[in-house]
Amino acid sequence: MRKHVFAVFVGLLFVPQATMAQSPGSDDADSSKAGVRFQRAVELYREGSYEGALAEFRKAYQTSPTYQVLYNIAQTQYALHDFVGAYKSLMQYTVEGGSDIPADRRAQVDQMSAKLVDRIAHLQILINVSGADVRVDDISVGTSPLPGLVPVNVGTRKVSAVMAGSPEVVRVVTVAGKESMKIDLRVDLPSAAPTRGVPGATTSTAAPLMTRSQVAEPPSRIGLIVTLSTTAALVVATGVCGFLALRAQQQLKDAIDTYPNTRDNIEAARKKSKNYGYATDALGAATLVSGGAALYFVLTHTWDPATPKPSKDKSLVLAPTVGGMVLQGSF
């Protein structure tokens, strides 16, 4: 059946150039130019260059409008699988041709139109705002709200809505012949900026929207808590290790003063004293670093108005202790 339809189109493809030249209201120059483009379109169609052929057929029709060329345009659109376009061209052909179209030709047009209808679906596209540009396969089909159904070719179609200041809304659907589908697209409108100082401007009672950078957020207390906890732990560890270091030094002195005694016992006591000394020094250094970090967080912390502010007569002091430094004071 499809081969039969294609044969019908081919039979109508070669519209005589003389017919174009005889169209009412066209001069010889326009008819000649249209005839050249028409013949070029026929050659492109034979070569399978349907897009080029469609462009030449349309240009020929624009140069010298002759209703017969519309049938050639419809055939080329059919070859490009643009069934909606082919159907519209056939309808325009019947309107412009009117009673001049032979009865057998009109029967062929009716037959072909019925086949094209089987390859066309309809979409009811609903948009939540007015004035959005509605597109099917990136081609505009109108502005929302659309007056009725939108005919589309069967297959997978991209439906989108575009509005200035809002991101494009896209939905991809697959439709079959004679199918009707409802599509809802929601466009997110940008928030209107509040107007101030403008005579006659309406003042909104709603609180103005603020960006994240404009909202004053209290600084995190995690760093302050962590550094204070770490400093306290290091102070305890330094004190314990310092005590053990002093005890090891005393044991080394006792080992040296003890007589008789072995060299191994003295060296063991000396090694123990050194190890505790090194550990005390390391913990003391870590205590200073952690205490400095805690002091930084205390000085740079923004106090919540609801939280009692620290008293001015209170202070923080780094005091030396055995084997390290201690952060003293209240905050």
The DSSP line for 30-86 is HHHHHHHHHHHHHHHHHTT-HHHHHHHHHHHHHHS--HHHHHHHHHHHHHTT-HHHH
Strand partners, 169: 161
pTM for the whole structure? 0.52
Q: Which of 331, 231, 218 is nearest to 283 (CA)?
A: 231
Contacts of residue 244, Cβ cutoff 8 Å, sequence gap at least 6: 276
The pLDDT score that the predictor gives to residue 230 is 87
Instruction: Name residue, tokens 């997978």.
Output: 156
Contact 153, 83 (CB under 8 A): yes
Structure tokens at 90: 């056939």
Lowest-confidence pick of 189-198, 200-209, 226-235: 200-209
Amino acid residing at 316: L
What ranges do the domains of the chain cover? 2-117, 120-185, 222-329
Give CA separation, 139 vs 37, 91, 182, in Å: 26, 21, 19
Q: 2-117, which class in CATH?
A: mainly alpha
At 19-41, the pLDDT tens digits run 443 344 446 888 899 999 999 99
The pLDDT score that the predictor gives to residue 183 is 96
For residue 127, pLDDT beyond 50: yes
CATH topology of domain 120-185: Immunoglobulin-like (2.60.40)
For residue 278, pLDDT beyond 70: yes
Contact 255, 261 (CB under 8 A): yes
Q: Can you tell me the mean pLDDT for 194-221?
A: 50
